[in-house]
Chains A and B, each alone.
Chain A
């Protein structure tokens, strides 16, 4: 158990819908990262937050957004969902720059 929790574990929804994925980092970790793992793109970095502020952005679509709350949990919002958004979404946390990232169990999103 990495100490990072993600909910829900599985999510099945339809095209055009909006979903929210939730992540709670390890106790004491200030940084949260979101990654997408799909069959064709592999593991891709989406976005990073540090203590409530956006720190880095990767290949995140405009339809996707995220935030980190004062209690340090983070949410990833995916809207206008398309079939290609079906993937495993991971959240990871670390104490800060240079520290190891520990991954949550992931949320498997299926868009039908």
Chain B
């Protein structure tokens, strides 16, 4: 079984600053994948970034990067140069061989102009 925990229900950051969202997970799978999804007010679930557990290199997508610490089962998301459009709920998720996703409870990110 997999569990995903996001310990920060809410975060806020000044526009153009950097913010880090935390996520820890637990899994018995040897082959698994980790994701961050963004859910803006439209409620659409949008993929932000993906990390394969077998890859040591941290994934990066433009202003978004992760800090993947496999031994610590930690998977944090760093957003650089925060923009107003980044305001949303952010969900961390884990998927294993069966591929179903287990989600954390989410972190609401507010961007202050």
User: B-contacting residues of A (Cβ < 8 Å)?
Assistant: 2, 31, 33, 35, 42-45, 48, 55-56, 58, 88, 90, 92, 94, 96-103, 105-106, 108
Contact = CB atoms under 8 A, between A and B. Distances in A.
Contacts of A90: 45
Contacts of B104: 42
Contacts, number: 60
B47 A100 contact: yes
Interface string B65-103: 000000000000000000000000001000101111111
Contact of B105 (A42, A55, A102): A42
A81 to B, nearest CB: 21
Interface of B: 31, 33, 35, 37, 42-47, 50, 52, 91, 95, 97-106
Q: Which of A43, A55, A97, A105 has the most CB of B within 10 A?
A: A43
5 contacts: A42-B103, A42-B105, A98-B97, A98-B99, A105-B43
Given A43-B101, A55-B99, A94-B99, 17 more contacts: A33-B100, A42-B106, A43-B91, A44-B103, A45-B100, A48-B98, A56-B100, A88-B43, A90-B45, A92-B101, A98-B31, A98-B95, A98-B99, A100-B35, A101-B95, A101-B99, A103-B44
A30 to B, nearest CB: 11
Nearest to B98: A56
A39 B101 CA distance: 18
